[in-house]
Amino acid sequence: MGTLNPYQPPVSRLSEALSAELGGDCWRDGKDLVVRPGCTLPGRCIKCNEPAELPLRHARFYWHHPALYLVVFAGLLLYLVIALFVRRRTPVTLGLCARHLRRRRANLAVASVGAMLGLGVIAMGVQRDVLPVTFAGIALMLASLMFGIVGSRLLVVTRIGENYTRFRGAGADFLATLPAFYRTR
């Protein structure tokens, strides 16, 4: 049995070339980056449009409907279990220039050091039985973790649908090089 599928529509080489070179799997829609699941973005930095450092980064992004956050009021553990099962994910291959890669790594390093310092301050406060020091350590650790999350994120998922994923956070210069997204209804 051959691999030829007589029912498959023909694929032109032009569409494959456009898909790879011009970002055929990615578009701009205002300030949003719209991609197909599993796409590879052009080999440029998503923040400033400079040539990206090789190899490109393979990232997985997760999303669930924002209304699910209301379940937190019923219990954090219940929310975590439900969110784990109903979340959607999409893999995307993207690039960062040397400057933005250094900035991301520096943010992660600062967050890691701050979290470790926070743990040390918590341990010191518990050992000496000083409640304000313990709370200061907790605050330092939480602030460091939040700094790491916000400072190291590449893109922010706004929606993962069946056919397309929408992101915020791509640079205007990068988005300007992509074709406009036209919805078919």
Please state the separation of Cα 131 from the chain's center in Å: 37
Domain ranges of the chain: 17-96+154-179, 98-153
Peptide bond into 55 cis (omega under 30): yes
pLDDT per residue as tens, the chain (185 positions): 456 677 777 654 444 434 444 447 889 998 999 999 889 999 899 999 999 988 888 999 999 999 999 999 999 999 999 999 999 999 999 999 999 999 999 999 999 999 999 999 999 999 988 889 999 999 999 999 999 999 888 899 999 988 899 999 999 999 999 998 876 55
Helix axes 131-152 and 98-128, enclosed angle (nearest 10): 170
3-state secondary structure of 163: coil
- Residues 6 or more apart from 80 whose CB is under 8 A from it? none
Task: Give pLDDT, residue 182.
Answer: 76
Give the model confidence (pLDDT) of 99-138 as tens digits.
999 999 999 999 999 999 999 999 999 998 888 999 999 9
Task: Give pLDDT, residue 183.
Answer: 66
φ and ψ at 116, to 5 degrees? -65, -40
Rg (CA), the chain: 22
